Amino acid sequence: MGGYYELKRSGSQYMFNLKAGNHEVILTSERYTSKASALNGIASVRTNSPNDDRYQRKVAADERFYFTLTAANGQTIGVSQMYRTEPSRNGGIESVKLNGSSEIIKDEG
């Protein structure tokens, strides 16, 4: 199975996770005020995830690695989990590139 989006309700807001085929979360969105806005966020991941320039490779204060995916306007679309190594983070980016185009949305909310 390939990757997919899991759309969830969180209180009065919506958010989504992009999951790899092994069901691990590879990207987490911000919270949106409406389901339509969250769906637009998913569309933005589909558009921007193939473009390497849209990834901001970062190091947290505790020296773990992570990345953000940004839209053309610089707004953050999603954030990765924390990784122990830089190669692991880079593998996460490659996984988002591979799975970001998925048309599958599992609506949990």
**pLDDT digits over 29-55, tens only?**
999 999 999 999 999 999 999 999 999
Predicted structure pTM score: 0.93
Which band of pLDDT confidence, cut at 50, 70 and 90, is reported for residue 10?
Answer: confident
- Of 26, 43, 40, which Cα lies nearest the Cα of 99? 26
